[in-house]
């Protein structure tokens, strides 16, 4: 049979119509089940709400029972009934594994994982206690590994072509705050980005897409309450506390603005994306701002 380029081109053009899923199928997550770690507050809570709006069943997890039950009740009061809380400490592999089992037993599947649970504090490297460094990595990096490990195992075993979104941070690219104090957090979140690429490589053959979303600063309860490492002396806490007030941003993104990006990465709109880190910081990393506030505090000149 002779090769007919015109017929081939016509067949390709027709396939664009016949093989294209509906926009509704691409945008919504109806029938999917999601786990959102850190879903009891801030970014995780906003992400859970968006996934519920999109039609998913959602398990929110956190390490505090009281916060978890309150968040679950708040979502149910808003009309979302397909949501359940599961207490899980990301530092415990047994609890993470139990969380995945709870989700599968409750809703019959695990199709989406979002790891927004995290910990942060502030201290300069010369004052940073080793236990604080290790704790931050254990929750932010090793915790994300534990979640990805057990969720991907479930997805592979059940032939689920799911979505995994590991929340990192733009601090992996841009040192923060103005005078530092974030080495442990930056190490943990930089590790998440590197791990995302490797996990994506491993899971591509199973149709599981793995990406990272890197926020910047956001308006969250955690952002308003976290401060210097608590084991530092009062003098050191006061010193770094003053430094944290130096930086002035033209605006602080809402948690929902980042949650919407995460939501998009959980849908079929992201079928063609894996191993990527999407920076969702409203231009902060690129120094893209609407105006430059005056910065009045600088180290005194010698």
Positions annotated as catalytic residues are: 185
Q: Packing angle between helix 143-157 and helix 93-107, nearest 10 degrees?
A: 40
Which of 18-24's residues contact partners 24+ apart within 8 Å by CB, and which partners?
21/268
Q: What is the DSSP letter of 175?
A: -
Q: Is 135 exposed, middle or buried (0-12, 13-18, 19+ CB in 10 A)?
A: middle
Which residues neighbour 271 within 8 Å (Cβ) at sequence distance 6 or greater? 209
With tokens 């994982």, the residue in question is 113
Which of 153-159's residues contact partners 24+ apart within 8 Å by CB, and which partners?
154/100, 154/104, 154/110, 155/110, 155/111, 155/203, 155/206, 155/208, 156/203, 156/206, 156/208, 158/109, 159/206
Instruction: State how far the alpha carbon of 51 is from the alpha carbons of 14, 16, 105, 127, 146, in Å.
Output: 33, 28, 19, 40, 22
The Cα–Cα gap between 73 and 71 comes to 5
């Amino acid at each position: 049979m002779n090769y007919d380029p015109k017929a081939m081109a016509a067949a390709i053009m027709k396939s664009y119509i016949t093989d294209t899923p509906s926009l509704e199928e691409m945008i919504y997550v109806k029938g999917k089940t999601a786990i959102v770690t850190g879903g009891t507050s801030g970014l995780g809570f906003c992400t859970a709400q968006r996934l519920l709006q999109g039609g998913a069943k959602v398990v929110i997890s956190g390490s505090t029972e009281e916060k978890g039950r309150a968040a679950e009740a708040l979502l149910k009061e808003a009309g979302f009934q397909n949501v359940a809380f599961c207490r899980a400490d990301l530092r415990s592999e047994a609890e993470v594994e139990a969380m995945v089992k709870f989700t599968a037993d409750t809703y019959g599947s695990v199709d989406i994982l979002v790891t927004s649970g995290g910990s942060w504090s502030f201290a300069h490297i010369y004052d940073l206690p080793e236990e604080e460094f290790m704790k931050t990595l254990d929750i932010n990096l090793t915790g994300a590994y534990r979640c990805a490990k057990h969720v991907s195992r479930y997805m592979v075993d059940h032939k689920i072509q799911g979505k995994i979104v590991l929340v990192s941070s733009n601090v992996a690219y841009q040192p923060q705050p103005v005078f530092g104090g974030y080495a442990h957090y930056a190490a943990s979140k930089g590790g998440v980005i590197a791990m995302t690429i490797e996990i994506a490589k491993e899971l591509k053959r199973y149709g599981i897409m793995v990406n990272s979303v890197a926020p910047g600063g956001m308006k969250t309860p955690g952002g308003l309450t976290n401060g210097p490492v608590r084991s530092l002396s009062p003098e050191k806490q006061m010193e770094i506390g003053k430094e944290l007030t130096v930086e002035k941003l033209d605006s602080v993104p809402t948690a929902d603005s980042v949650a919407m990006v995460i939501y998009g990465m959980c849908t079929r709109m992201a079928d063609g994306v894996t191993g990527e880190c999407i920076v969702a910081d409203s231009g902060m990393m690129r120094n893209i701002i609407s105006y430059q506030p005056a910065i009045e505090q600088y180290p005194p000149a010698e």
